[in-house]
């Protein structure tokens, strides 16, 4: 009987270990925490579209975190994801924002810009011209 109890306990311990490993791998990615490369998604705090309609300037709450921008253009939306080195705590506002600029494949037109880190629509200031 002790053997059955030990096997059952060992089986539960094994299952718990697997669950914790899975959560440990998935949780940081799903919560916008650090990625394996030590960078994380950061929020867009401001956006401007230049008069040419294709130059999009975004400010990220990365506080000198060497931001990089990934853009996915679709017919009705443009999804932007900015990753950066981990910003200092409390320094993710426009006061400590970094600018990244991209040239869209086609004019933004009526498409909306979506911040991949939050899923929210980004308000884009359209510059005169």
Report residues of the chain scoring pLDDT below 70: 1-36, 86-95, 129
Q: How far apart are CA 27 and CA 25, in angstroms?
A: 6
What pLDDT score does 25 carry? 45
Q: What is the pLDDT of residue 30?
A: 39
By the 10 Å C-beta count (0-12 exposed, 13-18 middle, 19+ buried), 55 is classed as middle
Q: What's the rounded Cα separation, in Å, for the pair 73 and 8?
A: 52
Q: CB of 99 within 8 A of CB of 64?
A: no
User: Are the CB atoms for 53 and 96 separated by under 8 Å?
Assistant: no
* CA dihedral sign, ordered 30, 34, 38, 41: positive
pLDDT in tens, 27-46: 443 344 455 677 888 899 99
pLDDT score, position 59: 93
């Amino acid at each position: 009987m002790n053997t059955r109890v030990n096997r059952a306990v060992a089986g539960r311990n094994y299952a718990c270990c697997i669950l914790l490993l899975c959560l440990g791998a998935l949780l940081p990615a799903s919560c916008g925490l650090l990625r394996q490369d030590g960078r994380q998604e950061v929020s867009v705090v401001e956006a401007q579209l230049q008069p040419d309609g294709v130059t999009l300037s975004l400010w990220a709450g990365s506080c000198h975190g060497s931001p990089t921008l990934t853009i996915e253009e679709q017919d009705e939306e443009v999804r932007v994801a900015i990753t950066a080195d981990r910003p200092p705590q409390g320094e993710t506002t426009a006061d400590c924002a970094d600018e990244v600029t991209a040239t869209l494949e086609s004019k933004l037109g009526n498409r909306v810009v979506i911040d991949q880190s939050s899923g929210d629509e980004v308000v884009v200031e359209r510059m005169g011209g």
